[in-house]
C-alpha cells in the first residue's frame, strides 16, 4: 500500500462513487468498499490517475484496517435498514474515537438515535445531508452536518475541500447536535418539492391555458433565468422543455408519463411541520400533487365527469405576470421552510444559524438560487424568523403579489390546477389578517365542547365561556 487513506467510503452507487472521486481529486487518499468486491476493484481501476489515491478493499476488516486512526468512515448506502446493518457490522471493528458519517437521506430522528447510541460506545456520529445529485457529488455538493461537533471538526477539512463554493466560501456547515444536519436536508427537499411544483404549475398554465409550444416556453424560462428567478431548477427547466425525444422527434415532455416519483423526504417534512404546528402549506400542496399524479385512474375518471369549465383558456396573463407570480410563490415557500427550521432549532436546542443554512444552499444544492444570498442577509434580522417580513422580501412581495393573485384567480376560473401557488397565497393572506375568523371557530368549540376562550377585554385569562343556551 503506497498511501494511508484519510477517510473511507462504503457504498459505490452513483452518489458514493462520485463523492469518492471528488475526495480523491481534492488530494485526500481514500479507502473504498462495496458489498460486491468486483465493483470495488472495477471502480478503482476506472478512476484513471485518481486511482493512485484510492485503496480498494475486499472486506470490511481490510477496509477498517486500511484507515488512519481515528478512522473516518462515510456511509453512502440507502437510508433505513441498510444503514442499521452497516453500522452493526462495523461496530465490532471500531475503536473509541472513530467516526461514522451517514451521507444518505436518513430520517433525522434515526440520526438523533444513532448519535446517542454510538456515543455510549465512545464512537462519534455525523449525519451529513448531501445535496446536488450526482453532478454535485462529483464536482461540489452542498452539505449539512449534524451530530458530534468533534466529529465535524475532524472531517471538516475534507468536507470543505470537496464542497461547492460560492464566492470562494465552501457550502458546508455544522448545524447542531443529533439529527440537525439530516433535518435541514429534509426541509431542503421539502422546499424543493414546492419549488418544482410551482414551476410545473406555471408550465401547465402556459401549455394548457395558453396553448404554447415547448420551444416557446423554453425561451420564456430562459429569459426568466436571467432575472430574479435565476436558479438551478429554472436552468434545467429550460433544458427539459427544449429537449426532443430521439425516438419520435417530439418534445421529450410529450412522451413522459405525468407521474412524479418521490422518496419520502417531502412527506417527512410535512409530517414534522404538522407535529410542530408549523404552517407549511406550499410543501403540503406539492406533496399532495405528487400523490395525486400517481392516481391515473381517478384523474381519467375525473376528466370525464368534470370537464374544464372554460376549456382551459386562462385569458391574457402576460409572461411578466407569470414570472412575478412564480417569484412571489417561491419567496413564500422559502419563508415557510425557514420558519420550520427556526421552530425545530428552538425545540431541539440545535445551534443552528438560519443565515448559515441559506449560505450553504447558495451553490451545489438542487434549490440553489440567486435569491439565497439576499435571504442569508435578510435572515440575520428577520422578524419572528419569517423571511417574508424582512424588508428586502416584503417589498418584493408587495410588488409581485398582484400578479400571484391574478394568476391564481385565472387558474381557478379556468379549472387549471395551481395548488402550491394557491396555498402559498392563502397562507400569506392569513398572515396579514390582524383579526381573522378564528373567533368563530373558538366560539363553536366552546359551544359544543366547553373548550373555553380568551376575551379581548381580559387578556391572559383563558377559560372564559359564552352564555350558550343549548345543551
- Give me the DSSP letters along 351-378: ---HHHHHHHTSSSSTT-BTHHHHHHHH
Kindly report, residue by residue over 75-123, the tens digit of the pLDDT. 999 999 999 999 999 999 999 999 999 999 999 999 999 999 999 999 9
pLDDT at residue 1, rounded to an integer: 47
Distance CA 164, CA 143 (A): 9
363 phi, psi to nearest 5 deg: -150, 155
Distance CA 50, CA 36 (A): 21
Is residue 71 within 8 A of residue 99, CB to CB? The reply is yes
The catalytically annotated residue of 153, 169, 185, 461 is 185
- Provide CATH code, domain 7-178: 3.40.50.720
Give the CA dihedral 20, 26, 28, 30, nearest 10 degrees.
10
Partners of 33 in the beta sheet? 10
pLDDT at residue 255, rounded to an integer: 93
Is residue 159 within 8 A of residue 148, CB to CB? The reply is no
Distance CA 342, CA 278 (A): 10
Grid coordinates given for 341: 427550521
pLDDT at residue 303, rounded to an integer: 86
Helix ranges (DSSP H) in 91-163? 108-120, 133-139, 149-162
The catalytically annotated residue of 6, 192, 323, 348 is 192
pLDDT at residue 394, rounded to an integer: 94
- Provide CATH code, domain 189-431: 1.10.1040.10
DSSP letter (8 states) at residue 138: H
Distance CA 85, CA 88 (A): 5
> How many other CB atoms are found less than 10 A from the CB of residue 111?
29
Which residues lie below 8 Å from residue 273, measured CB to CB, with a gap of 6+? 190, 279, 280, 283, 284, 340
Of how many residues is the chain composed? 471
Q: Where are the domains of the chain?
A: 7-178, 189-431
Partners of 146 in the beta sheet? 127
Distance CA 109, CA 116 (A): 11
Record the pTM.
0.93
pLDDT at residue 38, rounded to an integer: 92
Is residue 308 within 8 A of residue 414, CB to CB? The reply is yes
Is residue 273 within 8 A of residue 179, CB to CB? The reply is no
DSSP letter (8 states) at residue 411: H
Catalytic annotation present for 192: yes
pLDDT at residue 68, rounded to an integer: 92
What residues in the chain have per-residue pLDDT under 70?
Answer: 1-2, 308-312, 382-385, 470-471
Angle between helices 108-120 and 180-204 (to 10 degrees): 170
Distance CA 305, CA 298 (A): 11
Catalytic annotation present for 185: yes
Task: Find cell 410542530 and name the residue.
Answer: 276
Q: How far apart are the first and last CA of the chain?
A: 84
Amino acid at each position: 500500500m503506497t498511501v494511508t487513506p484519510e477517510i473511507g467510503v462504503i457504498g459505490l452507487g452513483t452518489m458514493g462513487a462520485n463523492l469518492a472521486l471528488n475526495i480523491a481529486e481534492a488530494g485526500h487518499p481514500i479507502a473504498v468498499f462495496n458489498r460486491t468486491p468486483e465493483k470495488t476493484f472495477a471502480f478503482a481501476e476506472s478512476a484513471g490517475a485518481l486511482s493512485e489515491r484510492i485503496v480498494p478493499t475486499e472486506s470490511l476488516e481490510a477496509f477498517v484496517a486500511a484507515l488512519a486512526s481515528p478512522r473516518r468512515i462515510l456511509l453512502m448506502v440507502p437510508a433505513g435498514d441498510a444503514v442499521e446493518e452497516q453500522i452493526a457490522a462495523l461496530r465490532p471493528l471500531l475503536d473509541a474515537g472513530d467516526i461514522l458519517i451517514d451521507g444518505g437521506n436518513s430520517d433525522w430522528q434515526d440520526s438523533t438515535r444513532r448519535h446517542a447510541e454510538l456515543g455510549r460506545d465512545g464512537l462519534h456520529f455525523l449525519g451529513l445531508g448531501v445535496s446536488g445529485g450526482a453532478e454535485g457529488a462529483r464536482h461540489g455538493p452542498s452539505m449539512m452536518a449534524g451530530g458530534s461537533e468533534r466529529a465535524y471538526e475532524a472531517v471538516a477539512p475534507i468536507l470543505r475541500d470537496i464542497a461547492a463554493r460560492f464566492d470562494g466560501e465552501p457550502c458546508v456547515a455544522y448545524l447542531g447536535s443529533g439529527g440537525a444536519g439530516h433535518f435541514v436536508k429534509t426541509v431542503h427537499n421539502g422546499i424543493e418539492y414546492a419549488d418544482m411544483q410551482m414551476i410545473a404549475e406555471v408550465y401547465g398554465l402556459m401549455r394548457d391555458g395558453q396553448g404554447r409550444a415547448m420551444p416557446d416556453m423554453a425561451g420564456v424560462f430562459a429569459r426568466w433565468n436571467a432575472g430574479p428567478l435565476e436558479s438551478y431548477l429554472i436552468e434545467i427547466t429550460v433544458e427539459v422543455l427544449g429537449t426532443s425525444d430521439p425516438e419520435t422527434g417530439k418534445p421529450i415532455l410529450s412522451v413522459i408519463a405525468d407521474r412524479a416519483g418521490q422518496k419520502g423526504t417531502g412527506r417527512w417534512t410535512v409530517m414534522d411541520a404538522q407535529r410542530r404546528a408549523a404552517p407549511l402549506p406550499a410543501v403540503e400542496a406539492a406533496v399532495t400533487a405528487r400523490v395525486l399524479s400517481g392516481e391515473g385512474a381517478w384523474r381519467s375518471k375525473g376528466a370525464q365527469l368534470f370537464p374544464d369549465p372554460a376549456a382551459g383558456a386562462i385569458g391574457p396573463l402576460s409572461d411578466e405576470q407569470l414570472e412575478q407570480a412564480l417569484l412571489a410563490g417561491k419567496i413564500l415557500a422559502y419563508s415557510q421552510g425557514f420558519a420550520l427550521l427556526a421552530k425545530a432549532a428552538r425545540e431541539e436546542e440545535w445551534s443552528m444559524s438560519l443565515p448559515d443554512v441559506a449560505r450553504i444552499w447558495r451553490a451545489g444544492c438542487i434549490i440553489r438560487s440567486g435569491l439565497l444570498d439576499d435571504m442569508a442577509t435578510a435572515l440575520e434580522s428577520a422578524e419572528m424568523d419569517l423571511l417574508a417580513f424582512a424588508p428586502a422580501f416584503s417589498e418584493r412581495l408587495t410588488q409581485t403579489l398582484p400578479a400571484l393573485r391574478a394568476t391564481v384567480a385565472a387558474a381557478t376560473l379556468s379549472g387549471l390546477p395551481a395548488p402550491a401557488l394557491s396555498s402559498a397565497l392563502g397562507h400569506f393572506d392569513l398572515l396579514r389578517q390582524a383579526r381573522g375568523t378564528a373567533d368563530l371557530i373558538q366560539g363553536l368549540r366552546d359551544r359544543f365542547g366547553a373548550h373555553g376562550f380568551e376575551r379581548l377585554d381580559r387578556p391572559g385569562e383563558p377559560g372564559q365561556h359564552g352564555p350558550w343556551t343549548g345543551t
